[in-house]
Amino acid sequence: MPTPHEAEKQHTGPEEADRPPSMSSYDTAPPAAPSRNPCCLCWCCCCSCSWNQERRHVWQASHESKLQPLPSCEACTPPSPEEVQSWAQSFDKLMHSPAGRSVFRAFLRTEYSEENMLFWLACEELKAEANQHVVDEKARLIYEDYISILSPKEVSLDSRVREGINKKMQEPSAHTFDDAQLQIYTLMHRDSYPRFLSSPTYRALLLQSSPQSSSEA
């Protein structure tokens, strides 16, 4: 005949003892879902709260018309022959030319790296902003669109720069992304710019701006 202790072990075997209590064992209802107010760390798009998802939908709707189209001053002014030729002298001259940025951005699109130029332009726009409330919002959106590993337009940054951005995002400023912008600028200079100079796109522009082409016209 089993002892009381053995009878208790047979009744509550190891599986039942380890099994978590069922919902019926709780005296109160499950905790209510979190409120729709933003959590304290919602600047990172890793947060999946409903407020951040709604913000993301609004941003996606406005972002296409805000950063994607080329500014009118870059799209409507044709470059002079001298300006086109100056783009081969230095990357700085190319990037300081609105028409040069437009042509270079179109080239980056063919290499599936247009996000580098978009990020650089967004940083320039952020640095020109004086309103702190707007700076906070733009910095948050730039992070979500170009820094977050969840974004399809994430730019390539090293871990040091990423860690610096994460710290600065606690109190964003107009210069939060300066190190990242410089790194992407350097990447475009060393990687994409040489290929751009030898591309059919730039060669065609040079041909059109050559004196012989102008005289024939």
The average pLDDT across 137-144 equals 97
Residues 61-82 as b/e (b if ≥16 CB within 10 A, e otherwise) read: eebeeebeebeeebeeeebeee
Cβ(101)–Cβ(73) under 8 Å? Answer: no
- Tokens at residue 51, please? 């407020």
How many Å is the Cα radius of gyration of the chain? 28
Q: Is the pLDDT of residue 65 over 60?
A: no
C-alpha to C-alpha distance for 73 and 58, rounded to whole angstroms? 27
Q: How confident is the model at residue 43 (pLDDT cuts 50, 70, 90)?
A: very low
The average pLDDT across 2-31 equals 48
| Whole-number Cα distances in Å, 97 to 30, 82, 83, 126, 217 | 60, 12, 8, 19, 25
Please give the model's pTM, rounded to 2 decimal places: 0.65
* Local structure of residue 158 (DSSP, 8 states): -
At 170-205, the pLDDT tens digits run: 999 999 999 999 999 999 999 999 999 999 999 999
User: Percent of the chain scored above 70 by pLDDT?
Assistant: 62
The average pLDDT across 24-34 equals 42
